[in-house]
Amino acid sequence: MSQHETTAWWGLGSGILIWLFLLMRFTDAGTIVDLPPAYAVETYVQMIVLWILASVVPAVLAPKHSQRTDKDERDRAIDALGDRLEGYVVVIAINALVVHALARATYTDRIPSVPIPDLGSTPALIFALLTTLLLADAVKQAVVLWQYRR
Amino acid sequence: MTQADLGERVGATRQTIIAIEAEKYAPSLELAFKLARAFERPVDDVFQFDAQG
């Protein structure tokens, strides 16, 4: 397994763990809780630190001066495909959030039985946006792994 | 010559050499010429273009 593939596995695993950390902090029994602002900021900072550490660890553990750590044209092509699909996921997810917000504003009053969750609160919006970023990153790592493994 | 040696000569990883051999990756023109040069063969001795894909 190449260093880049190992890094992608690490990125996918750490991304899932960071999302579970967010889930633990932002939700209670499947519902987004109304976090105090200080607690939300603390969670956000912790998440950023975890994400930076998760990004740095594979580079630190990589064998030094090894050809395995240098990216060649195939690695760069795979990275570019991953980045492109990551961008698509962000665009789709942000549009889904916009459509969701519009649907809720438009239809909740008219059809109260339509179960559209409220993302209007600050914690819900933060959770949705951070989930979007983590989902996009997970898709990128999954695409990279698929390309290396196919 | 091992796959790792060849990779080192042409500036590619061993995994890329394996992927090219298995026809899972089509190298750039530059890499194709480098590989041909490493084998001291013309490029169309090393790579054949299949129009059917």
List chain B domain ranges. Answer: 3-42
Answer yes or no: do A73 and B19 touch at CB < 8 A: no
Q: Is the pLDDT of residue A100 over 70?
A: yes
For chain A, the average pLDDT equals 87
Contact A53, A122 (CB under 8 A): no
Q: Which residues of chain A have a CB within 8 Å of the CB of B8?
A: 67
Question: pTM here?
Answer: 0.82
Interface size, chain A vs chain B, as Cβ–Cβ contacts under 8 Å: 31
From CA A129, how far away is CA A90, in angstroms rounded? 9
The shortest C-alpha distance from B11 to chain A (Å) reads 7
What's the confidence (pLDDT) of residue A45? 94
What number is the average pLDDT over the span A47-73? 81
In chain A, the residue whose alpha carbon lies closest to the alpha carbon of B10 is A72
List chain A domain ranges. Answer: 3-149
Contact A26, A127 (CB under 8 A): yes
From CA A34, how far away is CA A68, in angstroms rounded? 47
In chain A, the residue whose alpha carbon lies closest to the alpha carbon of B5 is A67
The tokens describing A74, both together, are: 């195939």
Q: Which residues of chain A have a CB within 8 Å of the CB of B11?
A: 72
Quick count: other Cβ atoms within 10 Å of Cβ A83? Answer: 13
Answer yes or no: do B28 and A68 touch at CB < 8 A: no
pLDDT band at residue A112 under the 50/70/90 scheme: low
